[in-house]
Amino acid sequence: MTDSFGILQSLQKIGIKPENLGASTGINWLESAESLLSSHSPADGKLIAKVQLSDEETYEKIISQAQIAFEKWRLVPAPQRGEIVREIGNALREIKADLGKLVSYEMGKSYQEGLGEVQEMIDICDFAVGLSRQLYGLTMHSERPGHRMYEQWHPLGIVGIISAFNFPVAVWSWNAALAWVCGDVCLWKPSEKAPLSGVACQLIAGKVFAKHGMPEGISNLIIGDYKIGELMSHDPRVPLVSATGSTRMGKLVGQAVGARLGRSLLELGGNNAIIITENADLDIAIRGALFGAVGTAGQRCTTTRRLIIQENVYEEVKSRLASAYSKLVIGNPLDERNHVGPLIDQDAVNGYLTAIEKVKAEGGKAVVEGGVLEGEGFESGCYVKPAIYEAENHFEIVQHETFAPILYLIKFKTLPEAIALQNGVPQGLSSAIMTLNVREAEAFLSAAGSDCGIANVNIGTSGAEIGGAFGGEKETGGGRESGSDAWKAYMRRQTNTINYSTSLPLAQGIKFDI
């Protein structure tokens, strides 16, 4: 392990030690692991630690244990399940600073964003506690005398969670907290690019479950490559697979789960746009676009990738953005004076460079030129310059999501044209309009407006709160996580009819007398 930036101390506070970095933390099955996975920080390129990868034998052991745990957990009253989730949220409060530091160092996002991600976990635990007393079903009037109809919701079983590197802990918690209060158990495959953050969460949750005498297997962690994801996707013992990542990955998961008629909850790519009209408050618009485009070094699924600007304010917005970009400070994400940290790895850097080459080849013009940073503080090779290019919406590279801080400026004349440009990509996650005109705002939010799962007015495309359902349409996958009634994805609906009369009438007035 490295001790850079005090990380070793934070790891020890969380409970991560060399002896518990196994394939399934808290379950001593290390003997079946075949290889090691190294976790390097993109902040400085240094090795943080090595964890053991799981194989199919380990997967089978974890699944068996999860099945046994589910049989007990589903019978615990939902409000009692909520109380345990409450304690997990409190445990996260106590370790917030250290877990936030680990997330920042392992993933590369700023320390403030790392803290924010842990706060999301705390918030979803709070939401889930209240939800544990609100898993409502409906009561319906029966057409048959002396009959009562109602519906209730039951847990599914094992919920498989496949998460991405950019939010290495929050997205897991969105799924796990809701699944737990619904009576499900969870099997989590974190990103291979941020495994230690997964180990930390497993340790924190596992201690709380153990404290309450709950069986091992309610919270399960399995560290592995795509093969583990394939096992999970094809396994009929996993009725729901919630997968976050690229559209390409999501299509493979969706096909595999669909082939066995299972359920999938897919949170995939985004190609998000902000429309800035002539009626916008440009101060707010610039701030929203700036964080949306460069926050997390452009590695959010809700990152602003396109800025669609009305022609008579286009030059002013372009000039002000360029000026704002010149003030960005890039560097070590644990230094709170810096605005932008590194990309996750060299593959991401290569993708960034390729996108710049492509937009130029298609006729794009640089407003703020990109490039890789070198020298002191940038030794990892993962630091890049946030870039801006004038482009056209139909450019091939603009139609695809590049997980990097590249912003495309696109000009429009009328609002219907702007909405068509906004919708004119395969993805449909997040969108926003900057305007003080209520007619423009309402048109954007109407059925003829944004086709995304998230549509905002006078805020950017990033920064969703857990109270609302999160997700998108088209190639974003259609899934919904977190707030509102997203809990229904983790349960099965059952309709019940009770006859308390002394006769047996049939529905629809059918007669069947003998």
Q: What is the DSSP letter of 214?
A: P
Active-site entry in 106, 113, 117, 267: 267
**Spatial separation of the C-alpha atoms in residues 174 and 169, rounded to whole Å:** 9
Minimal CA–CA distance to 317: which of 273, 365, 280? 280
Q: Could you tell me the two tokens for 234?
A: 């094809």
Catalytic site includes residue 452: no
Q: Could you tell me the two tokens for 257?
A: 């789960």
Helices (H), 95-166: 96-107, 111-131
Query: Given the DSSP bridges, would you call strands 427-428 and 473-474 parallel, antiparallel or unpaired?
Result: antiparallel
Q: Could you tell me which residues are beta bridge partners of residue 49?
A: 39
Residue type, 402: T
Q: Could you tell me which residues are beta bridge partners of residue 187?
A: 160, 220
Can you say how many angstroms the Cα of residue 15 is from the centroid of all Cα atoms in its chain? 25
> What are the residues whose beta carbons fall under 8 Å from the beta carbon of 302, sequence distance 6 or more?
270, 272, 292, 429, 430, 454, 461, 462, 463, 464
Q: What is the DSSP letter of 398?
A: T
Residue type, 142: S
Catalytic site includes residue 301: yes
Q: How many CB atoms lie within 10 A of CB 416?
A: 12
Active-site entry in 182, 186, 301, 452: 301
Minimal CA–CA distance to 239: which of 486, 490, 494, 57? 490
How many helices (H) and strands (E) the chain has is answered by 14, 21
Residue numbers annotated as active site: 267, 301
